[in-house]
Amino acid sequence: MHQPLTVASTPTRWLDDPVESGAAAGFGVYLHVPFCHHRCGYCDFATEAVGGRDDTDALFQRYTQAVRRDLARQVAAGRRAHGPASRRAPLDDAWPTVTSIFVGGGTPTLLPPELLAGLVRAVHEELDVAPTAEVTVECNPETASEALFGALVTAGVTRVSMGAQSFTPSVLTTLERGHTAQRPVEAVHQARTAGVAEINLDLIFGTPGETDDDWRDTLRTVLAAGTDHVSAYALTIHDSTPFGRAIAKGVLPAPDDDVQADRFAIAREVLGAGGFEHYEVSNWALGSGRRSRHNLLYWRHGDYLAVGVGAHGHLAGRRWWTTRSTARYLAAVEAGESPISGSEDLDLDEQAEERLLLGLRVREGLHPADVPPLDPLALEDAMAAGLITTACGRLQCTEDGWFLLDEAVSRLLV
C-alpha cells in the first residue's frame, strides 16, 4: 500500500539529523591488503601479485607496519583533518565508536596469521570499538586453514568473506582461480570448526562458457556448504584488464547481458527457495541478523576511515582515496607523509544523488526522514513508471526499479 512520504521539517534534515543513514548508520574502518598470489584476468582492484617473489616475508612485515602507522596518523589527526569545509561542522575531536571493521584485498589471508590478526588489534588499540562490532576478513579458499581462522577468531574476527566465485572447474579455469571446486566447501567447514560466527561466499555469474546448469549446481553447492550469506555479481569487464584486452582482440567472448539477467533470476529463485533473504541488489542472507553490517554502512551513506593501498574513505560528504601503488604508499607513510592521492567534497545535490543511489539498493529503501527533498511531480513520475514505491511510508525501489536503479534515481532528481 502506497503512503505519502513525510516531509522533513527542514530542507537539510536528511543530512543533519538522519534516522538510519549518514552518521546514524555507524562508523567503519576499512583496511586494504593488496597482495595476491596471482592477479586474475578480470580483476580491476588495487592488487599486487607476489607469487614467485622471495622477499614476501619482509614485504608483508613492512606493509603491515605501514598500515598500522597510517591508521595511527589518521586517528591522531582527528575528525577535522578529513571533515569538509562545508555547511556541516564536525562533531568534535573524538572519532565515533567503530561499529564495523573490514579487511579487504587482494588476499588478506596471504599474510601470516599473526600479522593479519595484528591489523585487527591495531584498530582496537587506536579507536573505541563497540563490543558488538562486526569484524570481517576477506579470504581465498587456497589460503585458508583452521589455524588461520582460529588466530582470527582470537583477534576478534566475527565474519569471513570467501571468494569461491564458482563450483564448476571449467569456469574456475576461465576465471584463473587457484583453487579446486571443492576447496571453498572445505574452507567453510574449517572456519566453522575454528568458531567463525558468520561466513559469506562471493560468487560470479555470466562467465563465458558457463551454462545455466553450471550456475544452478554452484548455487546448490552453496546451499549445502553451510554458509549464511551470499554475494553474487555479474562478471564485469574493465578495458584495462587482461580480460578486457582479450575481448577487444576477439580472443574471449564478452559476457552476454541477457544471459547474465537469466543467471540473476536463477540466483533469486534458488537462493530464495533455500531460505535466503534477497536484501540488497547483489546480496542474500539467512535472515536479517546475517546481513553484512559493514556493507550496510556503505549503502546507508555512512562514514568510514580508509587505510592501505587503494583504500577509499568517506566522512560527511568528503571522499578521499589513497595511491594504488604499494611502493608509493610505503614511501609516503614511512616518510611521515599522507598516502592520499585524491579527494572530493560533494555539494548538497551530489550528496542527495549519492544518498538515493546507495539507499535504494537495500530492499527496505530509505526512512522518510533520510530522503533528500524531492520534487512531487518527479516522485509521481517515478512511481507511475513502476520504478519507485512509498510502501510503509519509506522510499523504496520496486522489483523493476531495483534493477533499473540509475533510471529510477534520474527520474527522482529531475
- Domains of the chain, each with CATH number or no CATH: 18-299 (3.80.30.20)
Q: Which amino acid is at 122?
A: A
Is the pLDDT reported for residue 357 higher than 70?
Answer: yes
Is the pLDDT reported for residue 86 higher than 50?
Answer: no
Let me know if 267 is exposed, middle or buried by CB neighbors in 10 A (0-12, 13-18, 19+).
buried
Q: DSSP letter at 36?
A: E
Please check whether residue 343 is in contact with residue 352, taking contact to mean a CB–CB distance below 8 angstroms. Answer: no
pLDDT at residue number 327: 97
pLDDT at residue number 72: 95
Is the pLDDT reported for residue 173 higher than 80?
Answer: yes
Per-residue burial over 189-214, b if 16 or more Cβ lie within 10 Å, else e, is: ebbbebebebbbbbbbbbbbebeeeb
Cell 560527511 belongs to 316
pLDDT at residue number 338: 95
pLDDT in tens, 185-225: 999 999 999 999 999 999 999 999 999 999 999 999 999 99
Let me know if 45 is exposed, middle or buried by CB neighbors in 10 A (0-12, 13-18, 19+).
middle
Let me know if 336 is exposed, middle or buried by CB neighbors in 10 A (0-12, 13-18, 19+).
exposed
Among the listed residues 102, 83, 122, 121, the one whose alpha carbon sits nearest the alpha carbon of residue 33:
102
Please check whether residue 177 is in contact with residue 154, taking contact to mean a CB–CB distance below 8 angstroms. Answer: no
pLDDT at residue number 39: 87
E-assigned strand segments in 286-393: 303-308, 312-315, 318-322, 340-345, 388-389
Instruction: Kindly state the average pLDDT of the residues 133-154.
Output: 95
Q: Is the preceding omega at residue 106 within 30 degrees of 0, hence cis? A: yes
d(CA 215, CA 233): 12
pLDDT in tens, 102-117: 999 999 999 999 999 9
C-alpha cell at position 171: 569456469
Please check whether residue 328 is in contact with residue 49, taking contact to mean a CB–CB distance below 8 angstroms. Answer: no
Give the 3-state secondary structure of residue 366. strand
Dihedral, 250, 255, 259, 261 alpha carbons, nearest 10: -150
